[in-house]
Amino acid sequence: KCQSKLMLLGMETLLKSDDKLSLLMMRVKALAAEHNQWQKRSPEIISTNPDVLLALGKEELQKVKNDLEMVLSTVQSKNKQLEEDLKREQQWLEEEEQVLDALNGIEEETKKQVEQLPKARAFHELQNKMLKLRVYKEELLNALGEFLEEHFPLPEKGGSAKKKNSSEEPAVELITLHEVLEILINKLMSTPHEPYVTINDSFWPPYIELLLRYGIALRHPEDPNRIRLEAFH
């Protein structure tokens, strides 16, 4: 109330020539009045009983302890999840490096043998190498298929996805992630000038999002309903 009265009095007697000085003086008076009010006040004591104060202190400390335990549990859970993700990523990286080393070794060995052997014999050896590579490719594809079927199954075995606009229309059979990758690979190899595949209702959206997020597939720059395999080769 004192501060409000001082503000009103200051506004009535304020001169244009010393507006800033008058405003500062008015603030000094207001702060002085507020300071006096705080000096006259005495702190409210909850209780003088030491047992009551001890109980209140214990209650506050218990609240703080519970909050800190909750934060600690959350952090530990996140750390555990991150460690598991890191282990999986490291295992995947090691497997990919082993495959890459094996392919590089086969390539280097083939180059050396081609340089040393006559053309006819080199051609025959190359045919054998190509056959072995095809067999190795089939083994890799089979291993990839088994891995995908185990770790990336459909939402339900033999599941289906209904069309968005009509619930009365027949359901569309979902295809596996293995089949999606085969379609993308075959499209890239058969028509490298036009490697994009149109997404339809048989493609399960979470698997498409997975391929896009990890850079395995790319979306068409002008048509979001078309995707292609990243040209790793």
In a domain, 65, yes or no: yes
In a domain, 183, yes or no: yes
112 and 58 in a common domain:
yes
Count of domains for the chain: 3
The pTM (predicted TM-score) of the whole model is: 0.40
> Would residue 167 count as lying in a domain?
no
Contact 211, 180 (CB under 8 A): yes
- The 3-class SS string of 47-109 reads CCCHHHHHHHHHHHHHHHHHHHHHHHHHHHHHHHHHHHHHHHHHHHHHHHHHHHHHHHHHHHH
Range of the domain at 106: 51-116
Q: Is residue 99 located within the same domain as residue 75?
A: yes
Task: Judge whether 45 lies within some domain.
Answer: no
The span from the CA of 217 to the CA of 233, in Å, is 14
Residues 94, 65 share a domain: yes
Show pLDDT as tens, one digit a residue, over the chain (233 residues): 777 777 776 655 554 556 778 888 888 999 998 888 888 877 666 667 788 788 888 988 999 999 999 999 999 999 999 999 999 999 999 989 998 999 998 988 888 776 766 666 767 888 889 999 889 988 888 888 888 888 887 766 544 444 444 444 446 788 888 889 889 988 988 898 999 999 999 999 999 999 999 898 999 999 999 999 988 76
- Torsion angle, CA of 121/125/130/135, rounded to 10 degrees? 150
